[in-house]
Chains A and B, each alone.
Chain A
């Protein structure tokens, strides 16, 4: 399945674009996606934290991703 991932802040700069389309195995979990991305973009592993958001909610490691989900990579937030 193809999934689209929105990228923000330092994650967007590390990857070099504001979104990614990846071919992921059916049943891919949030943790699996993070592991794949850290493998492809090792600088992501140096961040203080990195979360996956699915449909505007933070996703636990075992959340399964679906093709139509709105997926985003959330580097350490610093609003306020």
Chain B
């Protein structure tokens, strides 16, 4: 998809596999992303959902928001369960009980259940090469249980287990580069996405579902509750994350890097951090340090993309 803003929201399917009436917070960027992903899933998809925000808000007994087959797993083993389901489909297909090519298996989890406790089962599933898609909804902390830090929490963010104070800057480690870890498994498709670019997100989900073998999408999910940002600005913060280089949107297809949204001139980091309570404590020098690192990572990514472009051109 080209980099342009399409005014064509009405050509998107009106299908809503994630029914309204769930319990997400006002302004939740994650459920917005989840709803858009669900639209892209189509009818023949089994959703495997690890414990987390999205699981809780969509399944307060006796209600469930999912209009698709859905299973709630443990916090850490969505990938393992998805692997089992995918293997079972293979067996049924071999016995001609179901058409294998038509059933998608999608595992979803938050950053906690993907980047932390779930990384082991995810790595195993990718190594075994199951035909499934994993979508990580990254709101950069364990939000469901009350805003605790994860290894996806960005440097300098204040959470309850990495509180900012006189001696502490908040999170003192840098965010794990999960897409790179996924790509290192040599899977056919890895992508980052953000609901502020809805068509890009849905396109990538469709692409991932169509990929034979494992596919991984890392979705940037703005959490106004956890980040202490205004609930009506979630889409804007998502856009600013992309435009400042904090969360670039790109794809890695069979090792080839491709930028999805080109930002010729990165905006200053403060455009993004301003207004987020979790970064309120950061001083100018901290912000400068973070911005330098963001730019450095961005340059590295650009290099990888250019290298790929050159190689493709050959």
Is the pairing of A and B real? no
Q: Measuring CB to CB, which residues of chain A are less than 8 angstroms from any residue of chain B?
A: none
Give the A-binding residues of B (Cβ under 8 A).
none
